Amino acid sequence: MTAATPPFPALPPAARVGDPVSAVDTPALLLELDAFERNLDRMQAAADAAGVVLRPHAKAHKCPDISLLQVQRGAVGICCQKISEAYPFVAAGIQDVLISNEPVGPAKAALAAELARHCRLSICVDHASQIADLAAACAAAGSRIELLVEINIGQNRCGVADAPAVLALIERIQAHPEQLRFKGLQAYLGSIQHLRSHEERRAAAAGASERTGAVAKALQAAGVHCEVITGGGSGTVEFDLANGVYTEVQPGSYIGMDMDYGRNEFAGSLRFEHALFLASTLMSQGNGERLVLDAGLKSLAVDSGLPLVWGPDGERLDLVYTSANDEHGILQAQGPDTRRPQLGEQVWLVPGHCDPTFNLHDELVAVRQGRVEALWPIAARGLSR
Ligand SMILES: Cc1ncc(COP(=O)(O)O)c(C=O)c1O
């Protein structure tokens, strides 16, 4: 008789609540809760003071626990970029979702119409065929969706050009009063979010608001009121709140502030802190100048640049992350006096771009004062339909 095969073990968790952060198995995506909560509080207070609705974008993090905390503080709901992305958020209790993007085709319309049976759902459109598909799907599902017409204010991505084009789509929307309702405009300009100088960003945001306001005014003259004008991101939100055009803002990255956003000059009072880190470990001492971490392209997005090197005590280290291989990250010491991390020591990295970095991880390790406080699923990871 052969010995019974032992049951195959489940993979142990990378972190346990209560553990010191130094015990977290790496690479692991960390959220430093004190800084994160200050970011949430600052944004909500600024929106409240301006009398503008905050609808934070969940594409930045894909983690329902984060959105629930934003809504607890006063956010009206969330934005998602994709319909499938919204499903875990609604399942977790988020009741008001804007899909800040255009779905095309009956399959996506059906996904949206089903979702609309479980939450208040609004969606962007910029073509009559999207409206027809959504109307048919809502009729079949017995649901109703509110529509925002996206206008192109310089992003040159989606969106119609002007007020007459908006009016033509409103007419199509109004042909389906049981299923659809016109809610307003989306006007988003991502290309100005990372203009580094405060003044340059202020001027660009003013131009974006002006173009948006001109379309809203032309609609008003034609007898159409926009209940909602939504847009903006973490780079322009302080201006979007003050410009008097947007009724709603949709910043996402401010929750954790990646390296790219950290390079913006924030001269106003609305500033955010790095709260998102990738914990990695020194896995090889290389040649002493070149050091090797266990985190590369499979745990960090580098499309906006390589990460900053941070110590677990919250200080910037005199080490530069010079290249990312699939599973390795190469560090260079900057001088003979630079303290080299020891083999097995944790090194924290500030990711270049938060959105695609979150999308590489199943779980967010929430830490406070050096201890693991919670483990939050990044439940919408990979949901890009
Ligand atoms: C339509 C839309 N709104 C808001 C945002 C949020 O921007 P950020 O994460 O830069 O704050 C984005 C980001 O790409 C977006 O595409």
Where residue 244 falls among pLDDT bands split at 50, 70, 90? very high
Where residue 334 falls among pLDDT bands split at 50, 70, 90? confident
Decide: 347 and 321 in contact? Cβ < 8 Å.
Answer: no
Average pLDDT of 91-108?
Answer: 98
Please check the confidence at residue 312 and state whether its pLDDT lies above 90.
no
**Ligand 1: centre distance to CA 211 (Å):** 19
Q: Which of 40, 59, 61 to mutate to test the pocket of ligand 1 (most atoms within 8 A of CB)?
A: 59
Residue 50 corresponds to which tokens in the numbers above? 């301006």
**Ligand 1: centre distance to CA 138 (Å):** 27
Dump pLDDT digits (tens) for 72-82: 999 999 999 99
Residue 315 is predicted with a pLDDT of 74
- Biggest CA–CA distance in the chain, Å, is 88
Decide: 341 and 282 in contact? Cβ < 8 Å.
Answer: yes
Residue 266 is predicted with a pLDDT of 87
Q: How far apart are the first and last CA of the chain?
A: 51
Where residue 203 falls among pLDDT bands split at 50, 70, 90? very high
Please check the confidence at residue 333 and state whether its pLDDT lies above 60.
yes
Residue 371 CB neighbours (<10 A): 12
Q: Indicate the pTM of the whole model.
A: 0.97
Q: What is the three-class DSSP state of 309?
A: strand
Residues 6+ apart with CB under 8 A from 38: 273
> What is the residue-wise DSSP string for 227-279?
SEEEE--TTTHHHHHHSS--SEE---GGGT--HHHHTS---SS------EEEE
Where residue 2 falls among pLDDT bands split at 50, 70, 90? low
Work out whether the CA dihedral 331, 334, 336, 340 comes out positive or negative. Answer: negative
Dump pLDDT digits (tens) for 349-359: 999 999 999 99
**Ligand 1: centre distance to CA 246 (Å):** 15
Q: Which residues of 36-69 are buried (b: 16+ CB within 10 A; e: fewer)?
A: bbebbebbbebbeebebbbbbbbbbbbbbbbbbb
Please check the confidence at residue 3 and state whether its pLDDT lies above 90.
no
Where residue 318 falls among pLDDT bands split at 50, 70, 90? confident
**What is the spatial distance between Cα 296 and Cα 302, in angstroms, rounded to a whole number?**
9
Decide: 226 and 216 in contact? Cβ < 8 Å.
Answer: yes
* Higher-pLDDT residue of 336, 237: 237
Find the length of the chain. Answer: 385
**Ligand 1: centre distance to CA 53 (Å):** 16
Decide: 281 and 24 in contact? Cβ < 8 Å.
Answer: no
Ligand 1: which residues within 6 Å by Cβ? 57, 60, 79, 100, 188, 190, 193, 233-234, 250-253
Q: Which of 57, 97, 150, 236 to mutate to test the pocket of ligand 1 (most atoms within 8 A of CB)?
A: 57
Atom 14 in ligand 1: residue holding the nearest Cα = 190
**What is the spatial distance between Cα 101 and Cα 41, in angstroms, rounded to a whole number?**
27
Task: Report the candidate in 291, 293, 323 with the shortest Cα–Cα distance to residue 306.
Answer: 323
Average pLDDT of 173-191?
Answer: 98
Dump pLDDT digits (tens) for 369-381: 999 999 999 999 9
Residue 33 corresponds to which tokens in the numbers above? 């809760």
Task: Report the candidate in 290, 291, 315, 296 with the shortest Cα–Cα distance to residue 357.
Answer: 296
Decide: 42 and 51 in contact? Cβ < 8 Å.
Answer: no
Where residue 338 falls among pLDDT bands split at 50, 70, 90? confident
Atom 5 in ligand 1: residue holding the nearest Cα = 233
Where residue 273 falls among pLDDT bands split at 50, 70, 90? very high
Tell me the domains of the chain and their CATH numbers: 21-30+272-377 (2.40.37.20), 34-255 (3.20.20.10)
Q: Which atom of ligand 1 is nearest to the CA of 237?
A: 11
Residue 87 is predicted with a pLDDT of 98
**What is the spatial distance between Cα 113 and Cα 359, in angstroms, rounded to a whole number?**
25
Residue 135 is predicted with a pLDDT of 98
Please check the confidence at residue 90 and state whether its pLDDT lies above 80.
yes
Residue 260 is predicted with a pLDDT of 97
Q: Which of 80, 188, 272 to mutate to test the pocket of ligand 1 (most atoms within 8 A of CB)?
A: 188
**Ligand 1: centre distance to CA 184 (Å):** 18
Residue 278 CB neighbours (<10 A): 24
Place of tokens 């033509």: 168
**What is the spatial distance between Cα 148 and Cα 216, in angstroms, rounded to a whole number?**
12
Average pLDDT of 276-290?
Answer: 94
Average pLDDT of 167-185?
Answer: 98
**Ligand 1: centre distance to CA 60 (Å):** 8
Please check the confidence at residue 226 and state whether its pLDDT lies above 80.
yes
Residue 1 is predicted with a pLDDT of 54
Q: Which atom of ligand 1 is nearest to the CA of 254?
A: 11
Averaged pLDDT of the chain: 96
The dihedrals phi and psi of 88, each to the nearest 5 degrees, come to: -65, -25
pLDDT over 70 percentage in the chain: 99
Average pLDDT of 16-42?
Answer: 98
Q: Which atom of ligand 1 is nearest to the CA of 186?
A: 1
Helix-, strand-, coil-residue percentages of the chain, each rounded to 5:
30, 25, 45
**Ligand 1: centre distance to CA 102 (Å):** 14
Residue 310 is predicted with a pLDDT of 87
